[in-house]
């Protein structure tokens, strides 16, 4: 997968949630993690980050939205349950993206939503935990931008390699009966 992504939160108040997001970001090979106006103490959040993510990927902490900066060419993607947002399964992820989620029991600030290049929602009946939402978004990115073979038409996984290769990896398919 080419490109990069980061993930962050605005106004989050539970360090354990930040730690969980950092651990998941590390597992999905994020390039960076960020916070905006958030409470995070490694001592507290570190209990949920058993991978010690800050030792492996940068954590950018911004005190205010005015301080917040992204790399040039990086699209900001807000994750928010609002009427005009795009359903995640219909969203094409930018190659260079930073995903931002709001606080527990709250939403992204209107000022941050205004700065977003895209706003996406996870099609659920109600909000899920912010750490779970972050994991869903990162999984969707890896699934859609990764170089995985198409899913088979019948239940089960691909079992057989075709002679063709995509970027050095064999293309897989189920055997014909």
pLDDT at residue 52 in the model: 63
pLDDT band at 53 (very low <50, low <70, confident <90, very high): low
Report d(CA 22, CA 131) in Å as an integer.
Answer: 9
Average pLDDT of the segment spanning 139-145: 94
* Mean per-residue pLDDT over the chain, rounded: 84
Domain coordinates of the chain in residue numbers? 4-146, 150-177
Q: Which residues pair with 33 in a beta bridge?
A: 7, 59
Contact 121, 132 (CB under 8 A): no
22 has a pLDDT exceeding 60 = yes
CATH architecture of 4-146: 3-Layer(aba) Sandwich (3.40)
pLDDT band at 85 (very low <50, low <70, confident <90, very high): very high
Specify burial of residue 100 (Cβ count, 10 A radius: 0-12, 13-18, 19+): buried
32-48 pLDDT tens trace: 999 999 876 544 445 55
Average pLDDT of the segment spanning 141-159: 83
Report d(CA 93, CA 27) in Å as an integer.
Answer: 19
Average pLDDT of the segment spanning 94-122: 95
125 has a pLDDT exceeding 80 = yes
162-173 pLDDT tens trace: 455 555 555 554
């Amino acid at each position: 997968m080419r490109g990069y992504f980061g993930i962050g939160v605005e106004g989050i108040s539970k360090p354990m949630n930040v730690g969980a997001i950092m651990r998941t970001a590390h597992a999905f090979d994020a390039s960076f993690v960020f916070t905006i106006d958030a409470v995070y103490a490694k001592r507290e959040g570190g209990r949920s980050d058993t991978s010690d993510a800050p030792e492996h990927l940068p954590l950018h902490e911004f005190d205010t939205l005015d301080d917040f900066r992204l790399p040039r060419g990086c699209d900001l993607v807000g994750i928010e349950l609002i009427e005009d947002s795009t359903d995640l399964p219909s969203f094409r992820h930018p190659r260079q993206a930073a995903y931002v989620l709001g606080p527990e029991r709250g939403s992204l600030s209107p000022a941050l939503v205004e700065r977003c290049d895209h706003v996406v929602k996870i099609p659920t009946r109600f909000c899920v935990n912010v750490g779970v939402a972050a994991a869903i978004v990162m999984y969707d990115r890896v699934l859609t931008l990764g170089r995985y073979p198409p899913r088979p038409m019948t239940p089960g996984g691909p079992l057989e390699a075709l002679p063709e290769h995509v970027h050095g990896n064999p293309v897989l398919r189920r055997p014909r009966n």
